[in-house]
Amino acid sequence: MSSTNASNQSFFESVQRNFEKAAKFTRFDRGILDQIKACNSILRVKFPVKIGNEIEVIEAYRVQHSHHKLPCKGGIRFSLEVDQEEVMALAALMTYKCAIVNVPFGGGKGGIKIDSKKYSDFELEKITRRYTSELCKKNFIGPGIDVPAPDYGTSSREMTWILDTYASLNPNDINAQACVTGKPIAQGGVRGRAEATGLGVFFGIREACSFQEDMEKLGLPVGIAGKRVIVQGLGNVGYHTAKYFQEAGAKLVGLIEYNGAIYDENGLDVDAVQAHRQKTGGILNFPGAINIADPAEGLEQSCDILIPAALESVIHKDNANRIQAKMVGEAANGPLTSEADEILNKKGILVIPDIYLNAGGVTVSYFEWLKNLSHVRYGRLEKRFSENMYHELIDIIESTTGKKVSELERKTILRGPDEIDLVHSGLEDTMIGSYREIRDIYTSQEGVKDLRTAAFICAINKIGVSYEQLGIFP
């Protein structure tokens, strides 16, 4: 996850370069473009935490990239590679991502520079709570200000600690639950958040695979079934992505973790691999699969779709030419450097960019935030009403046709929506609609040669208009 890669081009520079590539296709003045690009607020803190008998000074960040819409939104990661530039780049990506999927937030991101494997649960809790109180002190967290979420190295557990710390420091805030998303259900989380990013990745790639002319160019058939897929990283995003592809009939030919990769032309079962990983501590030596000791080489194996879902800058100018996939789905943030991006585009590989593809997490986080502000579970008001209406409809159909529907049909038709149904359907609609918006720009705007540029144009257009309408202080 280093902010510089084999080419020494920083992740932040990559993001800025991609922005500029797209900016020239938009109609905005330089001033508006510079404002869109700029990181609005940057918080860097150092705080002491007692670890065992020692006092450790922890370095942490929160970047609010854009205030054109509030709150700011973006995950918090725990990693030794965290630095200001990395957090700035990730926060910027969040701004563009939210605009692309029509989520009314500005971008933000946070990071704590630690190796979370080095600490006990209790120590991690102390670090997370202290970080949250720093955010509170500096007004960098709150339902209408800045709303963190899980990211690399964090999960619903850390989000609970953040919520509890925020709520105890803000006892009168009736909307305190909306200060963070990705929470467990019992703490105000929304059903479907855990799998949201992976499911969004699946919906996005499925949509891309549904266009006959695009698939013909790649020499692939339409649809997901039968496609040979490699996934890098079996964490939250990678696991769920792999699972949905497998369920849709794709063949998982390769899986990659930090300590090795496995490959099997006949297809791997992701749950069996996860069980093997839990038992042995890694994915290597999975029965029937070939071991690839160097995980980086896993990316270079033969497949139709390669899905990096772990870290940034894993495909760079030195390995891009060896990528054999016909499509690359960026589930992770920034897995390609901009140089690698150019190489893959020249090779005719269809790259589906992170700023669109992994937006499922923030989309469902938006649903969670809305749920917290409305203080009511999705489906609670309409489920029974819908079921009663469907019931009446079936009765009318049966009495006018003189025919009876089967018990199974009745059960299927009579089901009103639960929270999970509404969340999944809202996510599916978002991913399909946004892909079509981006593809429209890609296919209709002269000179636009890749989906990433099209996605950036889409984001800049929306944010630019927002700044224009807000007006700039004289």
* Nearest alpha carbon to residue 297 among 266, 262, 267: 262
DSSP letter assigned to residue 417:
P
**Of 257 and 339, which has the nearer Cβ to ligand NAD?**
257
DSSP readout, 59-126?
Answer: EEEEEE---SSSSEEEEEEE-TT--HHHHHHHHHHHHHHHHHTT---EEEEEEE-S-GGGS-HHHHHH
Instruction: Give yes or no for a contact between 287 and 262, defined as CB atoms under 8 angstroms apart.
Output: no
**Of 250 and 331, which has the nearer Cβ to ligand NAD?**
331
Residue bearing tokens 């499509």:
327
CB of 103 to ligand NAD, least distance (A): 12
**Of 176 and 357, which has the nearer Cβ to ligand NAD?**
357
**Strands of 290-292's sheet, edge to edge?**
290-292, 260-263, 251-257, 228-232, 305-308, 327-329, 350-352
Instruction: Give yes or no for a contact between 355 and 74, defined as CB atoms under 8 angstroms apart.
Output: no
**Of 5 and 232, which has the nearer Cβ to ligand NAD?**
232
**Of 258 and 385, which has the nearer Cβ to ligand NAD?**
258
CB of 327 to ligand NAD, least distance (A): 18
Residue bearing tokens 């609010």:
64
CB of 29 to ligand NAD, least distance (A): 31
- Cα separation of 177 and 60, whole Å? 23
* Nearest alpha carbon to residue 437 among 200, 212, 102: 102
The residue whose Cβ lies closest to ligand NAD is 235
Binding interface with ligand NAD (CB under 6 A): 150-153, 197, 232-238, 256-258, 295, 309-311, 331-333, 358, 361
> Is 326 an active-site residue?
no
Catalytic pick from 21, 73, 97, 109? Answer: 109
> Hey, which residues are catalytic here?
109
